[in-house]
Structure 1
Amino acid sequence: MRRFTKCTDKDFDVNVRNFNKNLNLYKDTLGIPAEVLDEVAAIENGWKAVFIKVADRKKCTSADIEVKNNYRKTTGSRLADLFDGYVRHNLALTGEMRFAFDLSDPHAAKRRIPPPADKPVLTVSHNAHLELNAVLSRATSERRHGKPEGVTSYEIWIQEGSEPVDEKKLTCYGRYTNTSEIFRFSFTDIGRVVTFVARWVNPRGESGPWSDPVTVSIG
């Protein structure tokens, strides 16, 4: 375990102290036996004694360093075993305890953000000459702005004309994060009729259902 076997002496010093402190803090919930608490406390005290002697490398001897290294080797392996045996796989661990012991949630990586389930509400209005303002909101009674949970962006697609939307005729206009965007057109687009649709997208690039189409004339 890296926190006790593959780290610097300073990190080992911090990790031993934190391990001892947190074991005592959560001993009742985790069911830590008294003899384990005593053993970890003794290891910490023993480490303090050998570590302080090598704090100043100019004054310590090679024998002091050897004693420290041997102590770390034996106690580091023992601490790793105690950590795995009494903490890492303890079913009573809470989120707070995982944070204190610097443990990741084993289920977090398995949780998959699903594709967006709701279609956005899309409005497209004339902002200024040759400008259109597209606004997306959530499909709620309050029409709240902002993206739904698990959504990081959205896509705007367009289709020429006012005919019913055919996915084969859609062209992706872009992917955006701000739920209000201004689209600017050129003079050659005056009178052009365009139908807009949008859909939410999650971090994996998976998209949700289409919004209702909005058809506007550019001008």
Structure 2
Amino acid sequence: MPSYLPASDPDFDAWQANFLSYANSHLAQLGLMLGDLIVANTRQLTWNGAYAANVAARNAAQAATQNKDAARATLESAIRALTQRLQASAAVDDAERAALGITVPDRTPSPVPVPTTRPVVKIDTSQRLQHTIHFADETTPTSVRKPKGVAAVEIWTKTGGPPPADVSQLVFLATDTRSPYLTVYEGDHGGAAAHYMLRWINTKGQPGPWSETATATIGA
């Protein structure tokens, strides 16, 4: 059965004030005498003092917290401005940065991974004597984003005849940083087959594995 006494202090304070005010002013109607309320009235005085002190302390703590937060914000602003100046100064070395507790730049270049995935290739032949070469990574074939650490794609080709038996039959065509790549052919290539193989290269120029051969006819 739930208690008739409110759980929260503010609600309890209002409730007890009403309760004892009514009881003290209606002694006869309630069948009470003044002595019956001595204990409750005395303890109400103790409660009133304790509750008022608690409210004042909470208000003071809230004000102190706000003052503290404001003081910290202004101090942080001053420190950040000074730190920015120190970080840009040639007179400050990394040992001094460490002693100050500010960020020490990482002087070791992060290793660049060699590509491990392959491009997937689609050739648009809708324009005569042109091939528009679309490429994407095999792990994200619907996105034009390159894999992490990849700078560009190398496009190699073989024009005419059967697909290349190995990469030694390929001729370098281009390096492209964003799909698609457009290649234009002379008129005497019309009707010939063009074969393409692509591979990713990282920012150090290290290549990844070859794509599957993509073949398309050069429209005359």
TM-score with structure 2 setting the length: 0.54
> Are the structure 2 counterparts of residues 117 and 191 from structure 1 closer, same or farther at C-alpha, using a change threshold of 3 Å?
same
Equivalent position of 1:162 in the other structure: 162
Equivalent position of 1:86 in the other structure: 99
Structure 2: gaps spanning 5 or more residues: 1-77
Equivalent position of 1:120 in the other structure: 119
Q: Distance in 1 between matches of 2:123 and 2:136?
A: 12
* Equivalent residues of 2:164, 2:170 under 8 A apart: no
Tell me the C-alpha RMSD between the 2 structures: 3.3
Letter in 2 for 1:83: E
Letter in 2 for 1:112: P
Q: Partner of 2:112: helix, strand, or coil? A: coil
Per-residue CA deviation, residues 13-51 of structure 1 (Å, 9 max, x unaligned), is: x99x725999xxxxxxxxxxxxxxxxxxxxxxxxxxxxx
**Greater mean deviation of Cα atoms: 161-170 or 147-156:** 161-170
Q: Distance in 2 between matches of 1:165 and 1:137?
A: 24
Per-residue CA deviation, residues 69-89 of structure 1 (Å, 9 max, x unaligned), is: xxxxxxx8xx879826624xx
Q: Distance in 2 between matches of 1:80 and 1:125?
A: 56
What is the total number of aligned residue pairs between the two structures?
Answer: 137
Once the 2 structures are TM-superposed, how far is the Cα of residue 181 of structure 1 from its aligned partner? 1.3
Equivalent position of 2:82 in the other structure: 18
Per-residue CA deviation, residues 99-136 of structure 1 (Å, 9 max, x unaligned), is: xxxx3213x42x21011110011111203111111001
Q: Distance in 2 between matches of 1:85 and 1:189?
A: 65
Equivalent position of 1:218 in the other structure: 218
User: Which aligned runs of 4 or more in structure 1 are off by greater than 4 angstroms?
Assistant: 19-22, 79-82
Letter in 1 for 2:163: E
> Are the structure 2 counterparts of residues 20 and 112 from structure 1 closer, same or farther at C-alpha, using a change threshold of 3 Å?
closer
Q: Partner of 1:158: helix, strand, or coil? A: strand
* Equivalent residues of 2:120, 2:141 under 8 A apart: no
Structure with the greater alpha carbon radius of gyration: 2
Structure 1: gaps spanning 5 or more residues: 1-13, 23-75, 88-92
Sequence identity, in percent?
24
* Equivalent residues of 2:125, 2:217 under 8 A apart: no
